[in-house]
A and B are shown apart, each in its own frame.
Chain A
Amino acid sequence: MAERAALGRAARSPLFVGACVMLGLIILAGALADVVAPYSPTAVGAAQMFAPPSGHHLLGTDRFGRDVLSRILHGVRVSLGIAGVSILAALAVGGALGLLAGVGRRVDQVLGRVMDVFFAFPPILLAIAVAAVLGAGVGTAVIAIAVVYGPFFFRVVRGSVLVESTQAYVEAAEALGAGRLVILRRHILPNVVSPVVVQTAVCLSYAILIESALSYLGVGVQPPLPSWGTILNEGKEFLALAPWVSLFPGAAIVLAVLAFNIVGDGLRDALDPRTEVR
């Protein structure tokens, strides 16, 4: 109940609402890309190479005469799709291991040491390392991001489980003879949901950044598939000639990441009592 009230407060912040609307619009644009995009994202036009933004091509065209707006709209699916799937995988694996660690002490020690190794790398470096080994591609990007953020979910879930385990209501349930798994599922799990939701929103913004960075560097999504980072990668050689090929997909990344960050911050302020608004 308290959570619902807190969410209600967040919903009255214009910034939070604006970010939610922005996210909704981006997702809708991606879902309806086939309908709303003026051209096919891969249709080439030799006569239209590097056309500046105009009535025909709102955001201009690239070196193959492909419509930049259409590529960005179709890129929503690729960029947000990879971010979503990879964070889901990170949540599933990291979260499951976190639950496991929160219950057994021996498991906790072993898993904690293993996770420390993954935390020993800066996130983008770890992602690049995974990409370097597996070779560029969509699957690689998903695995790379999942490997980077799995340990984050592990830490959040493990921490919450440990905190909840010491609460009086858990001791009471134990005293009443409830088994460990029952306590975990009925009592602890529901309390872990809030921090996980916050972590998911924040990680989604990082995932978009990492996917686009990998693709920009040329070790993520490969052309002609349009991800926002790939479009930027294809534009970087022609920056002076056709800046619009680089500027607009970057703006799309900023809008999406900003929206996820604002939603994440809003959720944290609302759901996490430790960071109450002062």
Chain B
Amino acid sequence: MGAYLARRLAATALTLLGVSALVFGMIRLVPGTVVEQLLGQAAIASPEVVASFRAYFGLDRAAHVQYAQWLGGVVRGDLGVSWLSGRPVLGLFLERLPVSAELAVLAVGWSLLLGIPLGTGAAVWRGGTRDSAIRLAATIGLSLPAFWQGTVLILLFSIYLGWMPSLTWAPLSERPLANLITLALPALTLGTATAAMITRMSRSSMLDVLGRDYVRTARAKGLPERDVTFRHALRNALIPVVTVAGVQLGYIVGGIVVVEDVFTLPGVGRLLLDAIFQRDYPVVQGVILLLGAIFMLLNLGVDLLYAALDPRLRRG
């Protein structure tokens, strides 16, 4: 396990370094006309502002020097300050993080609760009508664009039925019930594709396990089919499902941007989009770097969990 852990950590560190280089480099790809425009605006303010803009776009120093400096700041938690509000990017991000994190956890939670039983059922009923219905439902779930599904849900629940306040935000700590009601539709939307993936994965994993020798042995020694399915098969079938759930949690990090826009939630996705439209590049850079890092760490966590669950992998 130790060697595996070390290898995996080293790979993650290397990739994180690559990610930081990419995020640093992206600012140099901003079209020259945009930079000139921004410099023009800065010139109205003061020569100091122009100088700081020139420095930010790397117009005054060599790239590797700038990168080293920037990376040094990032390691110490200094991601720069927002051009608009003058506040540190890290602070802005952490302020918005609870909303997005809660949304992500709710989404993955319901998708596991629905996806595992559906996938297991489909495997047990393989080849039948119920299996076909579940598989088709999963394919449809994968094909629904989140922004459209969210739109339809808002239309149905808020506008036609008048059930849900879709556009007002209440923090979990202050008004927990209002908070959960507000997040119900966004979490439903965000988790749909994940539920579909988990259903598919549970089904194929369960089918795989049901064909194994130890399951046949369990049947041969006369265990009731229910015990075979739940005690012997499901436990082992869930191992790959854990991986998929983890990877999906990562994809949800991306989906958050879309869902927060549809439901106007004050999370990190909204922060990123607002920053893009206002050309607040330090915030854009910082949020993308942090979301990328979170995505990677989630993947790392899942891999380690997988290794802990499946002893064969530790030696590999």
Binding site secondary structure of chain A? helix
Q: Chain B 85-112 against A: per-residue CB contact (8 Å), 1 yes, 0 no?
A: 0000000000000000000000000000
Interface-forming stretch among B224-232, B246-254, B305-313? B246-254
A73 to B184, CA, bound (A): 34
A30 to B114, CA, bound (A): 38
A62 to B274, CA, bound (A): 26
Contact of A113 among B14, B211, B258, B273 (CB under 8 A): B14
Task: Name A213's closest neighbour in chain B (CB-CB).
Answer: B258
Tell me if B5 counts as interface (CB < 8 A to partner A).
no
Given contacts A128-B257, A258-B139, contact A134 B145 (CB under 8 A): no
Determine whether the beta carbon of B261 is less than 8 Å from that of A217: yes
Whole-angstrom distance from the CB of A161 to the nearest CB of chain B? Answer: 22
Determine whether the beta carbon of A134 is less than 8 Å from that of B29: yes
Binding site secondary structure of chain B? helix
Determine whether the beta carbon of A216 is less than 8 Å from that of B147: yes
Task: Name B136's closest neighbour in chain A (CB-CB).
Answer: A15
Determine whether the beta carbon of B139 is less than 8 Å from that of A120: no
Query: What's the tally of chain A residues with a CB closer than 8 Å to chain B?
Result: 44
Query: What's the tally of chain B residues with a CB closer than 8 Å to chain A?
Result: 54
Among A15, A120, A124, A278, find the residue whose CB has the most chain B CB atoms closer than 10 A: A120
A268 to B284, CA, bound (A): 38
Task: Name A247's closest neighbour in chain B (CB-CB).
Answer: B152
Determine whether the beta carbon of A239 is less than 8 Å from that of B159: yes
> Contacts of B295 on A, CB cut-off 8 Å?
120-122, 125
Tell me if A114 counts as interface (CB < 8 A to partner B).
yes
Determine whether the beta carbon of B15 is less than 8 Å from that of A216: no
Residues 79-121 of A contacting B (Cβ, < 8 Å)? 113-114, 116-117, 120-121
Whole-angstrom distance from the CB of B75 to the nearest CB of chain A? Answer: 18
A247 to B150, CA, bound (A): 11
Q: Which residues of B contact A (CB under 8 A)?
A: 11, 14-16, 18-19, 21-23, 26-27, 29-31, 34, 126, 136, 139-140, 142-148, 151-152, 154-155, 159, 204, 207, 211, 250-255, 257-258, 261-262, 272-273, 276-277, 284, 288, 291-292, 295-296
Known A-B contacts: A117-B18, A122-B291. Give 17 more (CB < 8 A). A15-B136, A116-B14, A116-B15, A121-B288, A121-B291, A124-B258, A125-B254, A129-B23, A132-B288, A216-B261, A239-B159, A247-B151, A250-B147, A250-B152, A261-B142, A261-B143, A278-B207
> Can you name 28 A-B pairs with beta carbons within 8 Å?
A15-B136, A114-B18, A116-B15, A120-B16, A121-B19, A121-B254, A122-B255, A122-B295, A123-B254, A124-B254, A124-B258, A125-B253, A125-B292, A129-B23, A129-B284, A132-B284, A133-B26, A133-B29, A133-B30, A212-B147, A216-B258, A217-B147, A229-B147, A240-B155, A243-B155, A246-B148, A250-B151, A261-B143
Q: Lowest 3 CB-CB distances: which A-B pairs, in order? A: A122-B254, A250-B148, A117-B18
